[in-house]
Amino acid sequence: MKDPRLVRLAVLAGMIRDHELGQLRARAEAMAQTRAHLAGLATAPPADTADMALMLADLRHQQWAEARRRDLNTTLARQTAEWMTAQDAARAAFGRAEALARLRDGKRR
C-alpha cells in the first residue's frame, strides 16, 4: 500500500514542476520577443543620399535605433539571467518530482 503522504508529496512536486516549467517558457518567450525587436531595428542605408533632409532623418533614426538597441540588449541580458535562474529552478523541480514519483511507485530506477 502506498503511503498517502508520499502520494501527496508527489502530486505537489508535480504541480511545482509544472509551475517552474511555465515560468521557464514565459522567460523564453520574453527573450524571443526582445530578440525580434532587436532584429526589427536593423537599418538599411538610405536609398537617396542626394536629399539632405532624408540624410538628416536617416541619421536621427540611426541614433534613435542605436539607443533602442542598447536598451533592448540590456533587457535581453536581464531576461537571459532570469531565464537561466528559471531553468535551474525547473531542473530542480523536475528532479524532485521524478524522485518522489519513483518513491511513490516503489521503483528504484
Look up residue 1 and give its DSSP letter: -
Give me the residue spans of the domains in the chain: 4-105
Q: Answer whether 23's CB lies under 8 Å from 83's CB.
A: no
R_g of the chain, CA atoms, integer Å: 24
Instruction: Note the pLDDT tens digit of each residue in 21-78.
Output: 999 999 999 999 999 999 998 876 666 667 888 888 888 999 999 999 999 999 999 9
Q: What is the pTM of this model?
A: 0.76
Q: Residue 100: name the closest of 92, 21, 24, 23 by CA.
A: 92
Dihedrals φ, ψ of 7, to 5°? -65, -45
Calpha distance 60→32 (Å, rounded): 27
Residue 45 makes CB contacts below 8 A (sequence gap 6+) with 58
pLDDT for residue 48: 62
Q: Would the pLDDT of 17 be above 90?
A: yes
- Judged against a pLDDT cut of 90, whether residue 88 lies above it is answered with yes
